[in-house]
Structure formats: C-alpha cells, structure tokens
Amino acid sequence: MADKRTVIRTKPPLWTRIKTQKFLLLMLVPGLIWYLLFKYLPLLGLSLGFTDYGFRSKVSFVGLENFSRLLSSTIFWNAFRNTLVISMANIVFYFPAPLIVALLINELKSLKAKRFIQFLIYIPYFFSWVVVGSIFVNLLSPSSGLVNNIITKLGGESIYFMASAKFFRPVLVSSYIWRQMGYGAVIYVASLTTVQPELYEAATIDGAGHWGQLWHVTLPGIRSTIVTMLLLNLSHVLLIFEQVLVMYNAAVYDVADVLQTYVFREGVLAGDLGYSIAVGMFTSIVSLTLVLSTNKISARFLDEPIL
C-alpha cells in the first residue's frame, strides 16, 4: 500500500534522485562493469563471425562465408546430429525422472525418510562433471568396475563402455540423470507441498481414487513448476558441453562430438576464431528459438508465460 502512494506522488527531478541515491548507485557500479565486460562485450564479438578473424593479422569481412562453410562441413553436421540425438534422449529420459521420484517421495509418510532421500539424491548435483565422469569411469571400468563385474558374473563379456560407440550415449544420459535428478526432485517436492489439501478432500468426495487425485489435483497443481523446469531444461539442452568435454575421447567422436565441443576444438584449440564464432552463433540461435517457441506454446496452457 505504502508503495502505491509513493508512485502516485510526483518524482523529484532525475539529478536529485541520483544525488540522494549516490551510495546505492556506487554499489551497482562494479557489477554493471562486470556485465558490460563479460556479458555484453561478447555480444559485440559475435560480429567477428562474419570475418576471417583468427589466422591472419588483418581481419577482413567475409559476409556469410563462414556459414556456408559450416553448412558444407560433414563434421559440423555430425556434431549437429549428435547434439539433437543426445538432447532428445536427455529430455525424454531425464525430464520425467525427477518428477516421478518427487511423486514417490511425496507418498512417504515419514518426514525423516522424506528429508533423508532428498538430502541424498541432491548430493551429486554439487559434484563437478569431472568428479561425476570419474565416478562413472570407475563404475564402468572393464576390469575393476562394479557394472562389468556383474556382467561377467552373469556370464557376459566385459564391455568397454567409455570407448564404445554403442554405449557412450547411454552413459552420457545416465550420468546426466545421476547428477541432475536430485535438483529437480527437490524443487518438485517443495512445489508439491503448495498444493492445497482441501482439493484432495474435495476430489475424494467426488469419488476420485488415488490415480484420479494424481491426475486431477496433483499434476495440475504443480503445472507451472513442470513447465518452468521444461523451459529450463530446453534452454541448456542444446548447449550441452562440459559433460561431453570431460567424458568423451577420440574413440567416440563420431557419436559424442556435439556443437559446443566442436566450437571449442575449432576455436580454442585450432584457432579458427571467425568460423567457430559462426558455429556458436548458429547454436545459440537454434537454442533460443527452441526456448521461445516452447514458452509461447506453454503460455496457452498457463495463465501467464514463464519468461
């Protein structure tokens, strides 16, 4: 209420406001400089994607040459295909996992058990990709790993998971789920507590069983969280990078090289800056289009868009 009154009152002139807020504005300065340097200056750097920047001392404008080069590069198309396949697999297998686990946790009666499980499955989220990757290397090691131990005990042959074109993508997806699931589950559990208990009572009176309640009360009650999580996932899914960079190796480039690792190799390691910026720009634009269109579609199901 008090806020409204201050808005109605005419504001003092800008200069006076700046003078009275000098300390506040001073506090903003370091952060603003940081955003300009490390978030907005790189945006200007995108224009180098239209140049041959990198090898020669003289930079010249080449128009869309970098883009036509990428469209005719088989390595680029391979990376693009891998990115789409891995992203699809991540969305299909990873996205429902935290929701299902959260619903299971929600059914537990013991508060202690609820807390313990959330505590436990949230731990890997704080491990680096190097640690998570290492844990999987250890688990999947052909001679000493637990998984191959079980396989050989059951009479199978040891599998070289990390070097196998067939198994590398499933390894990526499962390690992704292992690390990220707890984060999503914890958010869903918190969101489930906001569903009003009266709604369940009303549903019971209307004759809804447990599945009916799940379908008509629980899921609609957390739909905005579900859509937010979907958008969050979609916004990084095509930008998958560090996990692959840590876990891949030359033996699986064919199935594991994604757009971002391709950019990294072409740009940082090979020094072809202009071209790699063009590839990166392509990735960013496709990713942004995906997020914005999902946001638009979701806005029709929700009262308001998430973004």
Instruction: Give CA–CA dist 164/242, Å, rounded.
Output: 20
Taking the least distance from each CB to another protein, the nearer of 78 and 118 is: 118
Which residues are CB-contacts of 290 (< 8 A; sequence separation ≥ 6)? 234, 237, 238
CB of 199 to another protein, least distance (A): 19
Nearer to another protein, 219 or 286 (CB): 286
| Cβ 139 to another protein shortest distance, Å | 5
Of 94 and 161, which has the nearer Cβ to another protein?
Answer: 161
Q: Which is nearer to another protein, 13 or 63 (CB)?
A: 13
Task: Tell me how far, at minimum, the Cβ of 209 lies from another protein, in Å.
Answer: 8
Closer of 153 and 300 to another protein (Cβ) = 153
260-278 burial by CB neighbour count: b if 16+ within 10 A, else e?
Answer: bbbbbbbbeeeebbbbbbb
Nearest approach, Cβ of residue 71 and another protein (Å): 18
CA distances from 72 to 14, 69, 255 (A): 55, 5, 19
Both structure tokens of 193 = 């507590």
Nearer Cβ to another protein (26/198): 26
160 class by beta-carbon count within 10 Å (0-12 exposed, 13-18 middle, 19+ buried): middle
Minimum distance from residue 154 beta carbon to another protein (Å) = 15
Distance in Å, CB of 216 to another protein, minimum:
18
Residue bearing tokens 């010249």: 60
Compute the distance between CA of residue 132 and CA of residue 171 in angstroms, rounded to an integer: 11
